[in-house]
Amino acid sequence: MTTPFSRRTLLGGAFAGFSALSLAACGVSQNDDTDVALSNEEVTLRFTWWGSDARHALTQQAIDAFQKENPKIKVKGEFADWQGYWDRLATTFAANDAADIVQMDELYLRTYGDRGQLLDLARTREFLKTDGFSDLSLASGQAKGVQYALPIGNGSMSVVVNTRLFDKYGVDVPDDTQWTWDDFQEIAAKIMKDSGGDVAGAGALGVEAGQLTIWARQHGGEVFDDEGKVVLDPAVPAQMWELTRAMAGQGAPKAESTAEQLTAPLNQTWLVLGKQAMNFNYNTQITSLQAATKEEKFELLQLPQAADGSSPGFYYKPSMYWSIASGSKHPAEAAKFVDFLASSPAAAKILGTDRGIPANEATLTAIRADLDPTSELAAAFNDKVASVVSDPPPLTPAGASDINNLTGRYMQEVLFGRQKPADAGRKYVQELTASVENAQ
Amino acid sequence: MSVVSEIRTLRKPSGRSGRKGRGVKTHDGKAAVVFLAPWIIGLVAITAGPMLMSLYLSFTDYNLLSNANFTGLENIQRMLDDTRLAKSLTVTMVYVFVSTPIQLAVALGLAVVLDRGLRGLSLYRSIFYLPSLLGSSVAVAVLWKRVFGVDGLFNQFLSLFGIDGPGWISQPSTALSTLILLHVWTFGAPMVIFLAGLRQIPREFYEAASVDGASRRQQFRNITLPMLSPIIFFNLVLGLIGAFQSFTQAFIVSDGRGGPSDSTLFFTLYLYQQGFVNFSMGYASALAWLLLLIIAVFTAINFWASKFWVFYDN
């Protein structure tokens, strides 16, 4: 009976196989002081990103354009979908076989950066210009003063409004420079009531970390500090989920519908299906939301603010980043390529807004006239909040990359009545802190 | 060789025939080594070596991106304080010990029915076996999500009777049950093995019993069950081990989260999250060994308990 034994060991074996391969090679690459210079030889770079088929095609076009300009540099693209991307990225870095240019997300930036896996882009300044980026944008790729990455696109947490439903139930779209969370709750409840419960007023608040971060900043705090420590006051999530709980079934969907929407694809969410009048999304998501429906009409509003009128807490969050592996043998060429992607008008024309509304202002200007109407809405929203955004929050530290799921999980504990908001807030901070400490 | 006789051979006190064979034809030994080489190399390079490595990593703080530091028993200490680990163990135990017996009962029941010489047996057998091939696939897990959603097929069916069903998958109290159901549905593999086992039971036993006036039920209890007990045991061992390692279903249905609120957080899913999301690979290695230990203990208990109910015919 050999079958059970081999099946039993399969997990441990497969798992360990990967670990052993990776351990042998890790921890080699470090930032040192050697000069970053172009090679005289022909150089091949590896470039990895996640995304859809459309993105793969556009990116390949950009690569071709770059190779035409730089015949001595070859770029080999490697791509995957979101989930597979991170599993593979971790293993390739662990095996010291990382691509040279890596598309990064805020959730993982510090995980890689703090462990010496990403090149400090200050060292490649000669080849990688950052003139087009505002200081706020650049700051969103820094931790402890090191420029780990360059933001590609900028977004901001917003409330997406279905104007068809607002019209249908005779509710005025509020003045979003003034509105408070009380107004938000009231409007959502009114729409749900007037529709006889057919339409929810708003999606659940506090299902992910972006909303939590803004809520914390509106109450004078942050989730993390620049050292990567958890500094969140447990009262912050508690208060936020207090509102979430109060709105469930009274303006927002009931607990189980919220739970279902958490894992639903975009075109199956209630906002797109015309069953919900407002939802929290990054402004740049409006293009995908609008593309998923012809019947509904969407607009963007700023997030509501706290009634006491303290800081609105808004900030630009990069849609994604360019970074260079510190183990890259050709950092100068890699920097040249990133510079092409981030700043060249030719690349901007090819890539458009596929990776978000460009954070590079010169690039955005170059393509602004060609934007489709919903992308223009997103770009206009970025302009609109420019006067109220403040410094970006400190980057998510290692050990907290799962913060969105963690936040959604505790919110559900509250929604399903399994924990009081105060307890959930306390345990949430405990678990987040433990997870971050375990990763240090 | 049939499954029954195979198991019987394995259960014999010690392989007398094996030893004799080796003694007689020694030159076969070299050939055996040559033929075994691919397997041995695979075992050492792909299974044993990495397993030892993961055992070592269990005692480190390995995070994939930096060097592993030996931390002694810290990972075990961490397990003791880990409430999500406790939760995932509970979820897994419920899943394993509810779904496996039900699955085996369904498989046995259908096998008995099919064994009565139904017309088109091979067709039915294939149809019932199909879910086993599909059940752990991504496609079926996606389908499951659709069937048991708020507006899913199942609720549409219920609404025919005026019942307003909840979102079975999105509610913590029912989410695990849908996964148990999915597992039970994959009864085909044990069913086929049961069918093979039933075929091995001499018909004369039943004929003799019916001459003596035994009812169908008595025949089942006094002939079928004891004669089939080695097969039941075999299926039980395999089933428990397989269920402990379930991953795909929960991963797809809950989008890799184990939600809603950890109600489908399988042990393997938690292990994956620790290793590949939090990069706590040292801890994840320790968890993998914990799973190995748990499965080993339950399998040992299973073998020990088999003395009391498994009947061998020689």
Measured CA to CA, the distance from residue A241 to residue A421 in angstroms comes to 6
Q: Which amino acid is at A351?
A: L
* Structure confidence at residue A240 (pLDDT): 95
Q: Which amino acid is at B147?
A: V
Asked if A401 and B47 come within 8 Å (Cβ–Cβ), the reply is no
Weakest-pLDDT range from A388-397, B98-107, B244-253, B264-273:
B244-253
The tokens describing A344, both together, are 């060249």
Interface ipTM above 0.85 = no
Between residues A216 and B163, the one the model is more confident about: A216
Nearest residue in chain A measured CA to CA from B63:
A439
Q: Which amino acid is at A159?
A: V
The tokens describing A55, both together, are 């993105």
Report the percentage of chain A scoring pLDDT > 70.
92
Question: Is the model's pLDDT at A24 over the cut of 80?
Answer: no
* Structure confidence at residue B238 (pLDDT): 92
Question: Is the model's pLDDT at B288 over the cut of 90?
Answer: yes
Task: Kindly report the nearest CA distance between residue A390 and chain B, in angstroms.
Answer: 29
Nearest residue in chain B measured CA to CA from A410:
B261
Out of A19, A86, A87, closest to residue B50 by CB = A19
Task: Report chain A's mean pLDDT, rounded to a whole number.
Answer: 89
Phi, psi at A428, each rounded to 5°: -60, -50
* Structure confidence at residue A5 (pLDDT): 36
Task: Report chain B's mean pLDDT, rounded to a whole number.
Answer: 85
| Pick from A375, A393, A430: nearest CA to A210 | A393
Nearest residue in chain B measured CA to CA from A84:
B276
* Cβ-Cβ contacts under 8 Å for A355 (sequence gap 6 or more): A51, A55, A152, A153, A319, A320
Asked if B54 and A19 come within 8 Å (Cβ–Cβ), the reply is yes
pLDDT band at B28 (very low <50, low <70, confident <90, very high): confident
Out of B51, B67, B299, closest to residue A9 by CB = B51
pLDDT band at A20 (very low <50, low <70, confident <90, very high): very low
Out of A116, A405, A438, closest to residue B257 by CB = A405
pLDDT band at B124 (very low <50, low <70, confident <90, very high): confident
Size of interface A-B (CB pairs under 8 A): 175
Helix, strand, or coil (residue B295): helix
* Structure confidence at residue A33 (pLDDT): 59
Asked if B279 and A3 come within 8 Å (Cβ–Cβ), the reply is no
pLDDT band at A378 (very low <50, low <70, confident <90, very high): very high
Between residues B28 and A324, the one the model is more confident about: A324
Give residues 106 to 145 of A whose Cβ lies within 8 Å of B.
Answer: 111-112, 115-117
* Structure confidence at residue B133 (pLDDT): 77
Conformational region of residue A206, where left means phi above 0, alpha means psi within -120 to 50, and beta covers everything else: left
Strand partners, A154: A318, A357
* Structure confidence at residue A32 (pLDDT): 56
* Structure confidence at residue A174 (pLDDT): 94
The tokens describing A336, both together, are 């040249």
> Domains in chain A, ordered, with CATH?
29-153+320-374 (3.40.190.10), 157-316+393-439 (3.40.190.10)
Mean pLDDT over B287-311 rounds to 94
* Structure confidence at residue A28 (pLDDT): 41
Mean pLDDT over A248-260 rounds to 90
Mean pLDDT over B212-233 rounds to 90
pLDDT band at A11 (very low <50, low <70, confident <90, very high): very low
Out of B46, B169, B242, closest to residue A13 by CB = B46
Tokens 């009931």 map to which residue? A254
Between residues B183 and A21, the one the model is more confident about: B183
pLDDT band at A309 (very low <50, low <70, confident <90, very high): low
* Structure confidence at residue A1 (pLDDT): 33
β-bridge pairing A276-282 and A321-324: unpaired
Taken in order A315, A319, A325, A331, is the CA torsion positive or negative? negative
Out of B52, B237, B277, closest to residue A402 by CB = B277
Mean pLDDT over A159-188 rounds to 94
Helix, strand, or coil (residue B135): coil
**Torsion, Cα of A184, A188, A191, A193 (10° steps):** -130
For B133-159, write each residue's pLDDT tens digit. Answer: 776 677 777 788 788 877 788 888 888
* Cβ-Cβ contacts under 8 Å for B204 (sequence gap 6 or more): none
Question: Is the model's pLDDT at B24 over the cut of 60?
Answer: no
* Structure confidence at residue A40 (pLDDT): 82
Cβ pair A406, A427 in contact under 8 A = no
Order of all β-strands in the sheet with A101-104: A73-80, A43-50, A101-104, A321-324, A150-151
Question: Is the model's pLDDT at B102 over the cut of 90?
Answer: yes
Question: Is the model's pLDDT at A263 over the cut of 60?
Answer: yes
The tokens describing B41, both together, are 């190399």
Taken in order A138, A139, A141, A145, is the CA torsion positive or negative? positive
Question: Is the model's pLDDT at B33 over the cut of 80?
Answer: yes
Cβ pair A109, A396 in contact under 8 A = yes
Question: Is the model's pLDDT at A408 over the cut of 80?
Answer: yes
Question: Is the model's pLDDT at A318 over the cut of 90?
Answer: yes
pLDDT band at B25 (very low <50, low <70, confident <90, very high): low
Measured CA to CA, the distance from residue B302 to residue A355 in angstroms comes to 55
Any B CB within 8 A of A405 CB: yes
Q: How far separated are the first and last CA of chain A, in Å rounded?
A: 44
The greatest distance separating any two alpha carbons of chain B, rounded to the nearest whole angstrom, comes to 76
* Cβ-Cβ contacts under 8 Å for B215 (sequence gap 6 or more): none
pLDDT band at A34 (very low <50, low <70, confident <90, very high): low
Weakest-pLDDT range from A1-15, A315-329, B96-110, B263-277:
A1-15
Measured CA to CA, the distance from residue B6 to residue A285 in angstroms comes to 60
Task: Kindly report the nearest CA distance between residue A328 and chain B, in angstroms.
Answer: 15
Cβ pair A394, A222 in contact under 8 A = yes
Chain B residues with CB-CB distance to A116 below 8 A: 65-66
* Structure confidence at residue B257 (pLDDT): 81
* Structure confidence at residue B136 (pLDDT): 65
> Domains in chain B, ordered, with CATH?
78-309 (1.10.3720.10)
Any B CB within 8 A of A437 CB: no
Any B CB within 8 A of A9 CB: yes
For A122-143, write each residue's pLDDT tens digit. Answer: 999 899 999 999 998 999 999 8
Question: Is the model's pLDDT at A111 over the cut of 90?
Answer: yes
